[in-house]
Amino acid sequence: MKEKSSMRVLSGIQPSGDLHIGNYFGAIEQFQKKQSGGDELFIFVADWHSLTTIKNPADLKKNIRQIVAAYIAFGLDAQKTTLYRQSDIPEIQEISWILSCQASMGRLQNAHSYKDKLDKGINATVGLFTYPILMAADILCVQADVVPVGKDQKQHLEICQEIAQKFNSTYGQTFTIPKGEIPDSVAVIPGTDGQKMSKSYANTIDIFAPDKKLKKQVNSIVTSPISVGDPIDTATCNILKLFKMFAMPEEIAEMETKYREGAIGFGDAKKILLDKIHAKFDLARKDFNRLMEDEREIDRVLAVGKEKAGAVVRKTLRTIREKVGL
Ligand code: ADP
Ligand code: TRP
C-alpha cells in the first residue's frame, strides 16, 4: 500500500504530576520532531484519564495548566499543531462507549496497568479497568495513523488496534489502524534509582523544578560505593545513563574514558549532568514559568484546540453512529 506523505499523529500526556525527563524524551521530544517533520499533529491533555489517580481538584487544575504550558514552552505551535484538552470534547465519551461494546473483557483483565495495581493490592476502580478503551477512543476519534509514546504504552496501543479491527470487521472498514512509534533509544529513561523514571517510583528529575530542587534530584542519583581514583563501571552507572541522553557522541566517549581511568568521581559527574540539564531546558523552563503566570494565553490555546479537534471528532462520531445504526 502507498504510504501517505503526511501522517496524522496523535498523542497525549496525563496531567498527573510534574513533568520529568522521562516524559520529555519518551513523549515531548517526539512531538517536537513530528511537528518539524511537517506531519499533522493532535496533541492533547488526557485529563479524564488522570481522574483515575488525581482526586484533588486544585492539583488537577494546576497539572492541566502545567502540561499545556510545557507543550507551548517546548515549541508546540498551536497554529500548526492541534493542542487540546480531552475533556473539552465530550463526543470522545460517546465514541468510548461505542468502542467499549467491541472491547474484550478478558483482554482488559489482562492489561498490565490494571493487573499491576491489583497485584499491589490497590483497589482498582472501573475507570482504571476501562482506561484502555478511553485511550482507544482518543486515538480512533481523529483516525490517527501514528501514535508516538514510550514503551509502557505498547499494550494500550495493541488493545486500541484490536478494538479498531473488531469494529471494522463488525461494521465494515471504518477506522485507520494506528501504528505505535516507540523509538528504542528512548524507550525507557532510568530514574535516580536506576529503575524506570516514573512519578509512581519517586525517582524523577523534574524538568521544571526550581534550581535547588533540580540540583537535589540530580544529587540523589544512586551510585555504587567506590574509592577516589577507582575506575567506574560504564555499563551500570545511573549518572552516565542519563548523561548519554544529553551529550554528543564525542562527549560520551570522553566521559567513558574518564570513567574507565578513574579520572572522575560521582560528584563531578553529577555536576556535569546538572549543567547539561540546564543547558538543554533553561529556555523552556523560563517560558514555562512565564506561561504558568499567564492564564489567558493557556485558555486561548485551548479554545483554538477545542474548535479544531472538536470538528474532526464530530465528523468521526457521525460516521460511527451511522455505521452502528444510531
Ligand atoms: P509516569 O510513569 O511518570 O506516570 P506517564 O505515564 O504520565 O509517566 O507518561 C507520560 C508519557 O511519558 C508517556 O508517553 C510515557 O511513555 C512517557 N514516559 C514516562 N516515563 C518514561 C520513561 N522513564 N522513559 C521513557 N518514556 C517515559
Ligand atoms: N495513557 C497515556 C499515558 O499514561 C496517556 C494517553 C491517554 C495517551 N490517551 C492517549 C497517549 C492516546 C497516546 C494516545 O501516558
How would residue 272 be classed by pLDDT, with cut points 50, 70 and 90? very high
- pLDDT exceeding 90 applies to what percent of the chain? 84
Residue 5 pLDDT > 80, yes or no? no
pLDDT at 230: 83
Centre of ligand 1 to C-alpha 15, Å, is 11
Q: What residue's CA is closest to ligand 2, atom 2?
A: 13
Predicted TM-score (pTM) above 0.95:
no
- Kindly list the catalytic residues: 117, 196, 199
pLDDT tens across 48-86, in order?
A: 999 999 999 999 999 999 999 999 999 999 999 999 999
pLDDT at 120: 85
Residue 2 pLDDT > 60, yes or no? no
pLDDT at 187: 67
Residue 3 pLDDT > 80, yes or no? no
pLDDT tens across 118-177, in order?
A: 888 888 899 999 999 999 999 999 999 999 988 889 999 999 999 999 999 999 999 999
Q: What residue's CA is closest to ligand 1, atom 9?
A: 23
Centre of ligand 1 to C-alpha 187, Å, is 9
Contact, 60 vs 15, CB < 8 A? yes
Centre of ligand 1 to C-alpha 324, Å, is 35
pLDDT at 106: 96
CATH of region 8-187+295-324, choose from 3.40.50.620, 3.40.109.10, 3.30.300.210, 3.40.309.10: 3.40.50.620
- Least Cα distance to 239 among 266, 217, 211 occurs for 266
Cell of 139: 486515538
Domain ranges of the chain: 8-187+295-324, 199-289
* Average pLDDT for 4-32: 92
**Angle between helix 126-140 and helix 91-100 axes, rounded to 10 deg:** 110
Residue 1 pLDDT > 60, yes or no? no
pLDDT at 132: 97
Confirm whether 8-187+295-324 and 199-289 share one CATH topology.
no
Distance of alpha carbon 226 from alpha carbon 236, whole angstroms: 13
Residues with CB under 6 A from ligand 2: 10-14, 46, 49, 135, 138-139, 147, 149, 153, 156
pLDDT at 243: 97
Residue 204 pLDDT > 70, yes or no? yes
Q: Which residues contact 249 (CB under 8 A, 6 or more apart)?
A: none
How would residue 4 be classed by pLDDT, with cut points 50, 70 and 90? low
Angstrom distances, CA of residue 265 to CA of 215, 225, 237, 252, 254 = 17, 11, 11, 16, 14
pLDDT tens across 93-115, in order?
A: 999 999 999 999 999 999 988 98
Q: Ligand 2 pocket check: which of 89, 138, 179, 198 to mutate, most ligand atoms within 8 Å of Cβ?
A: 138
How high is the mean pLDDT of the chain?
94
Return phi, psi of residue 46, to 5°: -85, 70
Q: How many CB atoms lie within 10 A of CB 312?
A: 17
Residues with CB under 6 A from ligand 1: 13-14, 16, 22-23, 25-27, 149-150, 152-153, 186, 188-189, 196-200
Cell of 8: 496524522
Residue 195 pLDDT > 70, yes or no? yes
Q: What is the CATH number of domain 199-289?
A: 1.10.240.10
Residue 236 pLDDT > 80, yes or no? yes
- Cα four-point dihedral sign 250, 275, 67, 73: negative
Cell of 259: 570513567
Selected residue with higher pLDDT from 1 and 206: 206
